[in-house]
Amino acid sequence: MRTIILSIVAIVAVASAAAPALGQTGTAKAGDNVLTKFLDFADIHPVARVGRLTVFPISISRDNGPIRNVLTMGQALGRGVLVVEELTPPTVSHARFINKSENQFVFLMAGELVAGGRQNRTLRTDALLGPQSSTQLPLYCVEKGRWSGGGKFSASPGVAPQSIREQAASGAGQAAIWAEVARANKRMKVSTPSDDLNAAMTSPVTARRLKELRGKIIPRLPRGCVGIVVVHGSRIVGADLFNSPGLFAAMQQKVLDSYLSQYGLGPRIVDGGRSDRIAPRPVSQDQVQRYLRGCYDGRFAAGPLRGAGRVYYLRGRPSGQTLAYGEGHMVHTSLTSPRIIPVRPVPLPQPRPRPEPRPLPASRWERSIKS
pLDDT at 2: 38
Neighbours of 340 (CB within 10 A): 7
- Of 230, 211, 320, whose CA–CA distance to 49 is shortest? 230
Question: pLDDT tens-digit profile of 236-289?
Answer: 999 999 999 999 999 999 999 999 999 987 544 433 334 445 566 889 999 999
- Provide the residue ranges of all domains of the chain, joining segments of one domain with +: 5-65+211-336, 70-197
Q: How far apart are CA 241 and CA 201, in angstroms?
A: 23
pLDDT at 22: 25
Question: pLDDT tens-digit profile of 308-352?
Answer: 999 999 999 999 999 999 888 999 999 987 554 445 554 555 566
Q: How far apart are CA 13 and CA 54, in angstroms?
A: 17
**pLDDT band, very low/low/confident/very high, at 109 (cuts 50, 70, 90):** very high
Do 259 and 239 meet the contact criterion of CB atoms below 8 Å apart? no
Q: Is the pLDDT of residue 41 over 50?
A: yes
pLDDT at 4: 39
**pLDDT band, very low/low/confident/very high, at 362 (cuts 50, 70, 90):** low
Question: pLDDT tens-digit profile of 81-104?
Answer: 999 999 999 999 999 999 999 999
Which helix (H) or strand (E) segment holds residue 310: the answer is strand 309-315
Q: How far apart are CA 69 and CA 172, in angstroms?
A: 33
Do 307 and 130 meet the contact criterion of CB atoms below 8 Å apart? yes
Q: What is the mean pLDDT of the chain?
A: 84
Q: What is the mean pLDDT of residues 66-89?
A: 94
| Residue 262 backbone dihedrals phi, psi, to 5 degrees | -85, -45
